[in-house]
Amino acid sequence: MSSDSDIITTMKGFQCTLCNVNLPNMPSLDQHVKGRKHKTLSTVRNTRKTQEEHSVFVSGIKPEISQTDISEYFERFGPVSDVIMDKDKGVYAIVQFSGSESIQAALSCVEHRMKGLQLRVKPREKKEFKLIPKNKNDPQNLQRVLDHLKPELCQLVSVNAQIHYIVERFQLGENEKKARGLLVQLLQEVFVEFFPDSQILAFGSSVNTFGIHSCDLDLFLDLENTKVFQSRAKTTTEQAKEGMSDDGQSEDSILSDIDLTTASPAEILDLVATILKRCVPSVHKVHVVSSARLPVVKFHHRELNLQGDISINNRLAVRNTRFLQLCSGMEGRLRPLVYTIRYWAKQKQLAGNPSGSGPLLNNYALTLLILFFLQNCEPPVFLTVDQLKEMACEEEECVIEGWNCTFPSQPIAVPPSKNMQDLCTLLAGFFSFYSKFDFAGSVISLREGRALPITDFLSQNKDDEVMDENQPTKTNQQRPKLGPLNLLDPFELSHNVAGNLNERSQRSFQRECQEAEKYCRSLQYQRKSNKGKSWGLVRLFTPQGQVLQTKTEQLTVSIPFKLASIPEGLRNQLHKAGDGFRLLWFQKVCSAVEGVLKTILNCHLTPSTAFKEDSAVAAEELETTAASLESSTNDSFESVESNTESSSLGTVAVGHKRQLSSDSDASVSPQGKKPRLARKGKSEFPQWICVLKHIVWAGRRKVRRELIKDTDSRPEGSCMELESQVTAYITEKEPELKDPLEFKVQSQMVGGTESTRAEFRFEPTSDKVGVFHDVFHFLEAFLPKMVETLLRREVGNA
């Protein structure tokens, strides 16, 4: 059944082109070929092939012609096994014969006349059988959708027009909205029967003005009034038992089985699921997902082909939906931007989480990122959430679960923005903003409209935990879960809306922003192509961009600021350093790198001369350095070797240190409001000339294993001692290099205006034996690990 031509050999093994799967070796290939998927697809392909070879394509028919009419007419050429018609349009039919000789007979007939119509009969077009992946997010499917959009987008006159077209194309139509409204009404009628006085409210993209055709229907079942009803009914029943009259609550009411005030959300949702299954027509695939942050009942509506979620503790989501509606009403440019950026993020597989949960951004988080960018435009397009709160009147005050959710109910209450930038510029601005954003070192606050230093969230400050008596709302009692991307919900301030992201997805997001930013600077983005080539949004939407690494990047070891791997003691020091935390952390890392090279790898290290042309800048900035930073760095900074031994970094870093940001806003505006400090002067960044005489980078694993075996366990202390021993062992046993390797290491602090990290650029200055690249690749993996260990160790000793 399977044909050899389905299997091709690749660099990584084999590929089955029929099933579109990669197989690493022969056994897995054998297994695949014998497996169900491959067999089924082979059978389907064979059937299709037979059908193609046995059928003809007939056009020129009319809608009133039936399948039987066609079958009867073509029987004269031989037995007909099937007729497939496109009944809706009534334009063509495919007639399948039992034998292939009938085809020749039908094709050689000069004229086909049937019921006054002249039919055209042609051989079937041979189409290559291709598996269409079911996953909507599969790049092939994403490309297919884009291919349909492309001609329309390309013929428009401007990027602005293309952006508006995206809205037109994807937005929920009036009929769809009406159908959703009717379903909500039906659910309301059903639920109120079981939960008296309950209310069902739609939230999320169906109603926040950003909905697309396939978006889900998010529903909140508000049972607050039902609880009141239930407790009243309970009292009445007790009174009835004592001889008073019953108020008529039926004995078999579902409410008599459950006490809403004490039941767990999962118990209540089980009940909701049962009601959905039994009482709502067309609803199927009902199941409870209790593991989610907010448990939900999921269902599917057959006729509307609609996925629905019902939650019961989600008043905040209803409110934040209301907030997004307000923003949309306040500023007409928001909707087109949201549709365009949501589509871009989907194409690049940065957002959407197809199965609900996942490590990608969800659309709510993405929308907040857009709003935050618009708050930071010059002049701002949006006010901060705090400013909006001030514009609300007394009746609009709203506190939910202790969080202040006040904002004006009508857009008219808010003055229009002075920002006049068009959509094309704002879209490019969004990419530029996040391509340089310091995700690692900041927490995004829409409340304040700025990025807060991550260190504000590190240490448990007791003062924060006390509720402000004048403001009976929550402030900082609970800390958000910090991660690679920190985006505070505008109302539930202890919730990181992007807390589900992993480092990979955060990096992809920023990398794609950088790619998009580069593209938006090109003429292809801004100008319509006269030659019919893709331009404007089309190229921006190409699925999954690939970023090519440049040569210089390959020779740089980058150590990212990773909160999760910073030990508690150092966290506290960083916290004390306030906005100067980046420099303090950088100095610690440099000191550790120096320690790894010098002590652990036994390199001969000489501090290299500082850049002369920058020293004046550095000296000037040194004077403006905040005293707080001075004390925090000097108090805590120690060389990894010992307190007394002078470290070359000690001299360089302290002598040339400067504040990375002169006020707490420095990390806030990646839009060039503040200079990119880290790159301006280099003199404060240490650099060394390093000489290596032994092959200490090679064969370490084997030596390490031997050393552990010899002593029968790991040596005392951390792995730092073990690694030093490995070096000593190699140095002693292996001959010296014929010519020592000499290379320069230049450090650089990046942060504030992009993801905080320490970068170490390696450049050979003398490599007669040609080992530099091996050394570099070794250090690429070894250095970050060892730095982490050394930082932990230093804090432990402090």
- The bridge status of strand 7-10 relative to strand 442-445 is unpaired
Q: Minimum distance from CB of 174 to ligand ATP (Å)?
A: 18
DSSP 445: E
User: Strand, helix or coil at 458?
Assistant: coil
Q: In this chain, which stretch among 199-207, 587-595, 625-633, 653-661 interacts with ligand ATP, using CB under 6 A?
A: 199-207
Q: What part of residues 279-318 is at the interface with ligand ATP (CB under 6 A)?
A: 317
Q: Minimum distance from CB of 205 to ligand ATP (Å)?
A: 3
- Select the binding partner of residue 287 from Mg ion, ligand ATP, none (C-beta < 5 to 8 A, by kind): none
- Strands of 741-750's sheet in order across: 556-560, 757-766, 741-750, 687-692, 604-607
| Helical spans, DSSP H, in 692-771 | 700-710, 719-733
With contact defined as beta carbons under 8 Å apart, do 452 and 443 qualify? yes
Q: What part of residues 147-206 is at the interface with Mg ion (CB under 5 A)?
A: 204-205
Residue with nearest beta carbon to Mg ion: 204
Q: Minimum distance from CB of 310 to ligand ATP (Å)?
A: 12
Among 216, 267, 721, 788, binds Mg ion (CB under 5 A): 216
Nearer to Mg ion, 301 or 582 (CB): 301
- Strands of 306-311's sheet in order across: 199-203, 217-222, 306-311, 296-301, 283-289
Q: In this chain, which stretch among 87-95, 163-171, 215-223, 729-737 interacts with ligand ATP, using CB under 6 A?
A: 215-223
Q: In this chain, which stretch among 122-130, 201-209, 714-722, 762-770 interacts with ligand ATP, using CB under 6 A?
A: 201-209
Among 321, 376, 455, 506, binds ligand ATP (CB under 6 A): 321
- Return the percent helix, strand and coil in the chain, to nearest 5: 45, 15, 40
Q: Minimum distance from CB of 294 to ligand ATP (Å)?
A: 8
DSSP 667: T
CA atoms of 507 and 501, how far apart (whole Å):
10
Q: Minimum distance from CB of 215 to Mg ion (Å)?
A: 5
Q: Which segments within 497-539 are labelled E, that is strand?
A: none
Omega prior to 380 cis, within 30 of 0: no
Q: Any residues with CB less than 8 A from the CB of 760 and at least 6 apart, and which?
A: 556, 557, 558, 559, 593, 745, 746, 747, 748, 783
Q: Minimum distance from CB of 168 to ligand ATP (Å)?
A: 17
Rg, C-alpha atoms of the chain: 34
User: Strand, helix or coil at 213?
Assistant: coil
**HSE of 722 in the Cβ direction (CA atoms, 13 Å)?**
21
Q: Is 321 in the site for Mg ion (CB under 5 A)?
A: no
CA atoms of 413 and 415, how far apart (whole Å):
7
From residue 328 to residue 367, the character string flagging contacts with ligand ATP as x (rule: CB under 6 A) and all else as - is ----------------------------------xxx---
Q: Is 218 in the site for Mg ion (CB under 5 A)?
A: yes
Q: Minimum distance from CB of 163 to ligand ATP (Å)?
A: 18
With contact defined as beta carbons under 8 Å apart, do 358 and 500 qualify? yes
| Amino acid in the structure at residue 651 | T
With contact defined as beta carbons under 8 Å apart, do 93 and 61 qualify? yes
Q: Is 205 in the site for ligand ATP (CB under 6 A)?
A: yes
Two tokens, residue 91: 């334009």
Nearer to ligand ATP, 171 or 746 (CB): 171
Among 176, 218, 222, 621, binds ligand ATP (CB under 6 A): 218
Among 73, 165, 203, 373, binds ligand ATP (CB under 6 A): 203
- Select the binding partner of residue 515 from Mg ion, ligand ATP, none (C-beta < 5 to 8 A, by kind): none
Nearer to ligand ATP, 345 or 584 (CB): 345
- Select the binding partner of residue 497 from ligand ATP, Mg ion, none (C-beta < 5 to 8 A, by kind): ligand ATP
Among 52, 138, 216, 270, binds ligand ATP (CB under 6 A): 216
CA atoms of 563 and 581, how far apart (whole Å):
12
Q: Minimum distance from CB of 353 to ligand ATP (Å)?
A: 8
Nearer to ligand ATP, 321 or 756 (CB): 321
**HSE of 385 in the Cβ direction (CA atoms, 13 Å)?**
22
Q: Minimum distance from CB of 506 to Mg ion (Å)?
A: 22
Q: Minimum distance from CB of 64 to ligand ATP (Å)?
A: 43
Nearest to 583 by CA among 366, 750, 723: 750
Q: How many residues sit in the footprint of ligand ATP (CB under 6 A)?
A: 16
| Amino acid in the structure at residue 165 | Y
From residue 496 to residue 515, the character string flagging contacts with ligand ATP as x (rule: CB under 6 A) and all else as - is -x------------------
Q: How many CB atoms lie within 10 A of CB 134?
A: 7
Interface positions with ligand ATP (CB under 6 A): 203-205, 208, 215-216, 218, 317, 320-321, 362-364, 489, 495, 497
Interface positions with Mg ion (CB under 5 A): 204-205, 216, 218
